[in-house]
Amino acid sequence: MTERTTPAAATAPGAPVGPTAGAGKPLSPELERIARAQAEWVARTPARSKVERDDLFETISGDKVKALYTPTVLAGFDYERDLGFPGEYPYTRGIRQSGYRGRLWTMRQFAGFGSAADTNQRFHYLLAHGQDGLSTAFDVPTLMGFDSDDPRSLGEVGVCGVAMDSIVDMDTLFKGIDLTKVTTSMTINGPAAIVWGLFLANAERQGVALEKLGGTLQNDAFKEFIAQKCWCFPPRPAVRLVVDSVEFATQHMPKWNSISISGYHIREAGSTAAQELAFTLKDGFTYVEECIKRGLDVDTFAPRLSFFFNAHLDFFEEIAKYRAARRIWARHMRDVYKARKPESWLMRFHTQTAGCSLTAQQPENNIVRTAIEGLAGVLGGTQSLHTNSMDETLALPSDKAVKIALRTQQILAYEMGLTNTVDPLAGSYYVESLTNRIEQQAEELFKEIDAQGGTIEAIEKGWFQREIHQASYRYQLEVERKERIIVGVNDFVESDEQIDIPILQIDPQVEKDQVAALKKMRESRDNDLTKRRLAALTEAAGDTSKNLMPPIIAAAAAYATEGEIRNAMRVHFGDYHEPAEF
């Protein structure tokens, strides 16, 4: 792939890299003619106040939408500069030259519950029904870095994900699955380096060469502080661990995605689409800066960064968000961070439909919501997709609900003609205008974050958290005032509704068994070796020149548990407490 020479290539280093088209540009004679004709059309049609319904006419993020979009909204639009061709800078139309004609998106359903053996069974079920890749959901104690027998884990073990304490659980989780053939995504962030360490130690024990492993570690510490709130250490040591794992992957694991920079949870926490986009990209830029500070060449690690976005209800806004995301990332990577390889400019991303858009009322309706959200992801050019199950506001999904969700993707992929052509919505006046607008909003939000002192300081000040809370509260009030209709919730309600779908229940016995197995494991391992390895890790944690991945893997190989590994580093890193505000 060669670099395209476009007018945007002339952007000066560090110069404002705002939206590339849109308002403020003089109209061409042709556009002036259209604008005049449009004004005449408006004059001869009834006033909008007379004919329009009483509705917000806003995107779900609260942006006003015009009644009509015409070429005049794209004044200054330059096809080659703003869109270009698929697989080439600025990647607005997608990162692959052939779109989905070459390769479909990966159907990757997130799964995890109960014990490692329970989840292993679900993995085999999903693979047997045509799923391509695995994605692991861990329980909350694992997400926070606690062992199953920690008093704080009581009642949470295996409940909303799989319980993971040691290399033993990791072995069970992937039993019968060839890790060199199936890629694995692990949704773990605060203690990502630890759980990855368990995964790598297990792979090494099985004789799998690390460079053959393909997969994704979510490993996005920032978004935990901003939105998901499952942290392990305070922001600054958390960033060190992220950079350690990026460095380790860069040196040893060329097929591994070292961070999945995630907007999904930011959106689920109540942000707008523009906030999701801007906060996520800014997190990404900050990781890039931190890795460069470590001395890594941007082109050695940037190609292995990937992204993860939400697919919410506002169909066009979501598509615009994905297209804008690619364009912004490409421009910053090339012009600000001076990446030279096109692989460093292109944004690969996973999409998950919006859990927060699902309703507990009339849950079957969620199949429809999810299908259309998934469609937005596909039309936005996602590389992989998780479609939610209809029952997720009630419990973890049942086998049947998961299968319908997977079938939804297969219908999108094979029945609807969506994959015949690349980026089919390009050139839509509305979609291109929304793409420009959301890009401009993101650039403005980048400046606000910088004004807060950057990502880490904005986290420490609670700025992101407040911005998201305000957006979510505004949305809630709109719903309660019925300015926004949610079918089955504030309109079309069935007051005598009986929920009639099977619910997956986690047996409390899972926790007891897990705790007992952990106790047995602690008794049977070589405790001297475990202690020595943990002590070595503690020592390395106190020395900022050391990459912590090798001592973490060594401790994991000696059957140290997640909580023990956490505690070994906690001596130096401490704990994090978020100021409680609302």
Partner 1 sequence: MDQKIRVLVGKPGLDGHDRGAKVVAAAFRDAGFEVIYTGLHQTPEQVVEAAIQEDVDVVALSILSGAHMTLFPAIQDLLVAKGATHMLLTGGGIMTAQDIDTLSKRGIGKLFGPGSPTTDAIAYIKEWCAAHPRA
Q: Which of 141, 374, 377, 381 binds partner 1 (CB under 8 A)?
A: 141
Q: What are phi and psi of 138, to 5 degrees?
A: -100, 155
- Among candidate residues 110, 101, 103, 99, the one with its CA nearest the CA of residue 406: 110
Residue number, 355 or 380, with CB nearest to partner 1: 355
Residue 496 lies near partner 1 (rule: CB under 8 A): no
Q: Which of 209, 499, 516, 535 binds partner 1 (CB under 8 A)?
A: 499
Q: How many angstroms separate the CA atoms of 252 and 209, rounded?
A: 9
In the complex, the smallest distance separating the C-beta of residue 144 from partner 1, rounded to whole angstroms, is 5
- Among candidate residues 282, 294, 306, 315, the one with its CA nearest the CA of residue 450: 282
Which range touches partner 1 (CB under 8 A), out of 115-123, 352-360, 372-380, 413-421?
352-360
Residue number, 225 or 248, with CB nearest to partner 1: 225
Query: Got the DSSP string for 58-111?
Result: B-TTS-B--S---GGGGTT--IIIII--TTSTT-TT-SSTTHHHH-PPEE--EE
- CA-derived radius of gyration, the chain: 24
Question: 557-580 burial string, b = 16+ CB within 10 Å, else e?
Answer: bbbbbbbbbbbbbbeebeebeeee
Kindly write out the interface string for residues 379-408 of this chain, putting x where it contacts partner 1 by CB under 8 A and - elsewhere: --------------xxxx------------
Q: Which of 35, 177, 336, 360 binds partner 1 (CB under 8 A)?
A: 360
Residue number, 88 or 149, with CB nearest to partner 1: 149
Q: Is residue 74 within 8 Å of 433, Cβ to Cβ? A: yes
Tokens of 31: 């556009």
Residue number, 50 or 481, with CB nearest to partner 1: 481
Q: How many angstroms separate the CA atoms of 201 and 207, rounded?
A: 10
In the complex, the smallest distance separating the C-beta of residue 375 from partner 1, rounded to whole angstroms, is 24
In the complex, the smallest distance separating the C-beta of residue 514 from partner 1, rounded to whole angstroms, is 14
Residue 582 lies near partner 1 (rule: CB under 8 A): yes
Given CA atoms 231, 237, 240, 245 in this order, what sign does their dihedral have?
Answer: negative
Site for partner 1 in 508-567 (CB under 8 A): 508
Site for partner 1 in 173-192 (CB under 8 A): none
In the complex, the smallest distance separating the C-beta of residue 341 from partner 1, rounded to whole angstroms, is 36
Residue 159 lies near partner 1 (rule: CB under 8 A): yes
Residue 42 lies near partner 1 (rule: CB under 8 A): no
Q: What are phi and psi of 246, to 5 degrees?
A: -60, -45
Residue 263 lies near partner 1 (rule: CB under 8 A): no
Q: Which of 503, 516, 535, 571 binds partner 1 (CB under 8 A)?
A: 503
Compute how many residues bind partner 1; rule: CB under 8 A.
50
Q: Which of 182, 208, 372, 486 binds partner 1 (CB under 8 A)?
A: 486
Give percent helix, percent strand, percent coil of the chain, each to the nearest 5. 50, 5, 40
Residue 156 lies near partner 1 (rule: CB under 8 A): yes
Residue number, 228 or 383, with CB nearest to partner 1: 228
In the complex, the smallest distance separating the C-beta of residue 189 from partner 1, rounded to whole angstroms, is 10
In the complex, the smallest distance separating the C-beta of residue 472 from partner 1, rounded to whole angstroms, is 5
- Among candidate residues 488, 508, 507, the one with its CA nearest the CA of residue 499: 488
CA distances from 48 to 45, 68, 379, 485 (A): 8, 11, 31, 22
Q: How many angstroms separate the CA atoms of 64 and 320, rounded?
A: 15
Q: How many angstroms separate the CA atoms of 129 and 123, rounded?
A: 10
Residue 140 lies near partner 1 (rule: CB under 8 A): yes
Q: Which of 259, 506, 518, 553 binds partner 1 (CB under 8 A)?
A: 506
In the complex, the smallest distance separating the C-beta of residue 61 from partner 1, rounded to whole angstroms, is 16
Q: How many angstroms separate the CA atoms of 496 and 492, rounded?
A: 12
Burial bucket for residue 544 (CB in 10 Å: 0-12, 13-18, 19+): exposed
CA distances from 366 to 245, 363, 374, 389, 516 (A): 37, 5, 12, 8, 38
Kindly write out the interface string for residues 192-221 of this chain, putting x where it contacts partner 1 by CB under 8 A and - elsewhere: ------------------------------
Q: Which residues bind partner 1 (CB under 8 A)?
A: 140-141, 143-144, 146, 151-156, 159-160, 224, 228-230, 268-270, 356, 358-361, 393-396, 469, 472-473, 476, 479-480, 486, 488-490, 499, 503, 505-506, 508, 577-582
